[in-house]
Chain A
């Protein structure tokens, strides 16, 4: 079995499509479980893309664009034109049929044209909304990258000449049933121990919501955690417990905050 480092060495060859079938399959399996290699592969593809962009050459022949646009027109997406309907054949005695059909199709055509305009407006709005969401998503990605970066330095600001106090912030959404927790200035825990976060419900005993250990600067973070279903939180609390977590708090509450 290859080590992570060996896979890392073969990533460039994988990105170039150079690995033999068995090695490629092994790499694909490794990539499913290794986020670091996935990130490196994406960066390598960026490098390879740039390498490709160094190519120079003539403009493609004009017929290429015509060919592409014809192919695209044959495969419309989004707002599609109505399929042409076949006119039923009628008996000769109904001489008005073509005129009536033409009039009906004219009215139908106007209706379709209006509907089409309306749909195009909706589509333009959806396109803009989609773009806004992409920009927002990109901004959120950046924020998450900063928050979760191992070299990110967290600085808590306190009144001068006051000793730093442990603090914690829980953010939760009852609707999404998700939560996250951040803490700072936490003292290191003894060997075999960890901090445990508790949800204090409106009724009943505290519910464990995850264990964590602070880093060397006293910071800790639990990102995007699932809330237990059907629980209405009255408060959140933190205690020191054994590192695998406890079912109920066994030490004095160190941090606590009410939701209301």
Chain B
């Protein structure tokens, strides 16, 4: 099995559970770019993004059991945790999401590096084709951490419309990726 496939990822997580610092170094090499990219996109601040990057990997080192390797993809889980941590930082609040409670489900495809790249490309395509107002609502909620009330105020749209746009944007993403 080559580097970057699902079994390889599970092996890496198992080594981290056993306290192998070298495994952590390999994991960092593999995923730091994506964690940094998410943190930077949310925070728009390189220093803050570095702090979040540090925090996310350190949390994984301290509590590797929080990630269930038999289920979702580590890359997707790290992206979700990173976004949460970055938004907590914007809102200057204590972390609201316990990483142990952040159980993620995803197709096995996401755990394979090649398959993941294809899916991510496809997801970018779905976002690009999305109705601009819908994409904007989803991006404001996801990457800027704005609440639906804040988005409604910013865009002048009714609250219900914003909720629907966010929800249907995600549904569209899932449906088109599954199709």
Q: Which residues of B contact A222 (CB under 8 A)?
A: none
> In the assembly, what is the distance between CA of A68 and CA of B62, in Å?
12
**Is the pair A18, B15 in contact by a Cβ cutoff of 8 Å?**
no
B74 to A, closest residue via Cβ: A49
Q: Which of A16, A49, A124, A131 has the most CB of B within 10 A?
A: A49
Asked whether A127 and B15 contact (CB < 8 A) given A13-B148, A43-B174, A49-B72, the answer is: yes
The dominant DSSP class at the B interface is: helix
> In the assembly, what is the distance between CA of A110 and CA of B1, in Å?
37
**Is the pair A55, B177 in contact by a Cβ cutoff of 8 Å?**
no
**Is the pair A134, B37 in contact by a Cβ cutoff of 8 Å?**
no
Write the nearest CB–CB distance from B159 to chain A, whole angstroms. 11
Interface residues on B, range: 35 or more
Asked whether A18 and B54 contact (CB < 8 A) given A49-B75, A64-B32, the answer is: no
**Is the pair B123, A72 in contact by a Cβ cutoff of 8 Å?**
no
A124 to B, closest residue via Cβ: B18
- B66 on the A face (CB < 8 A): no
A12 to B, closest residue via Cβ: B167
**Is the pair B50, A64 in contact by a Cβ cutoff of 8 Å?**
yes
Q: Which residues of A contact B143 (CB under 8 A)?
A: 55
- A26 on the B face (CB < 8 A): no
> In the assembly, what is the distance between CA of A128 and CA of B37, in Å?
33
A43 to B, closest residue via Cβ: B105
Q: State which of B46, B84, B110, B142 has its C-beta within 8 Å of the C-beta of A51.
A: B142
Q: Which residues of A contact B24 (CB under 8 A)?
A: 68-69, 72
Q: State which of B10, B19, B173 has its C-beta within 8 Å of the C-beta of A47.
A: B173
- B76 on the A face (CB < 8 A): yes
- B106 on the A face (CB < 8 A): yes
**Is the pair A52, B80 in contact by a Cβ cutoff of 8 Å?**
yes
**Is the pair A49, B18 in contact by a Cβ cutoff of 8 Å?**
no
**Is the pair B36, A60 in contact by a Cβ cutoff of 8 Å?**
yes
Chain A, residues 120-144, CB within 8 Å of chain B (1/0): the string is 0001101110110011011001000
Sorted nearest first, the 3 A-B pairs with minimum C-beta distance are A78-B19, A49-B76, A52-B79
Residues on B close to A: CB < 8 A? 7, 10-11, 14-15, 17-21, 24-25, 28-29, 32-38, 40-41, 46, 49-50, 53-54, 57-58, 61-62, 69-73, 75-80, 82-84, 87, 96-97, 102-107, 110, 116, 119-120, 123-124, 127, 138, 141-143, 145, 147-148, 163, 166-167, 170, 173-174, 177
12 A/B residue pairs, CB under 8 Å, sorted by A: A42-B103, A47-B174, A49-B106, A50-B79, A50-B173, A58-B36, A64-B36, A68-B24, A68-B28, A77-B61, A134-B10, A134-B69
